[in-house]
Amino acid sequence: MTRWLETIGAVSPTDWYTAFLGFLAVLFLLLIVEHTRKHLGFQAYISRKIVHIITGLIICYVAVMIHSNIPILLIAFLYIFADLWAMRMGLFKSIHTNSASYGTVFYGISVFVLAIVFWGTFKPIFIITNLIMVIPDALAALIG
């Protein structure tokens, strides 16, 4: 436990700040999309793809800007459980449809695993694989 705390303490404040701003941007995006869906009748399918693309781009931007993978790991880890909880509670219907799909959970798991495996010496692979998960997948679903 002490080693983990030392590792967290070794992360630069700039990395924490940048990752936190990325987290806030994603949260703000979710709130905007949820509000739009509720009050303007925006289709959940389209809003889910918009969130998918923009969230992935934010993750890639944050990855370019920070040096340590610890903030990404922590946010991805917390996201996995927060997403499972949101699904169970029926929150964020703009990204969680009536059908039971754990795609958002698996996306969080994949970001976590990719940050562990590729961050150190292969950080560009982390970014590229995230872009591949985000852009072609969402566009293929939208186009057909």
pLDDT bracket for residue 7 (50, 70, 90): low
Q: Quick one: DSSP state of residue 11?
A: S
* pLDDT tens-place string over residues 18-68: 999 999 999 898 888 878 877 777 776 777 788 888 889 999 999 999 999
* pLDDT tens-place string over residues 60-76: 999 999 999 999 999 99
The burial class, CB within 10 Å (0-12 / 13-18 / 19+), for 94 is: buried
CA angle 80, 101, 63 (to 5 degrees): 40
Q: How far apart are CA 97 and CA 35, in angstroms?
A: 15
* pLDDT tens-place string over residues 81-117: 988 887 777 666 555 555 556 777 888 899 999 999 9
Instruction: Give the start-to-end residue ranges of the domains of the chain.
Output: 15-143
pTM of the model: 0.81
Q: How far apart are CA 101 and CA 58, in angstroms?
A: 23
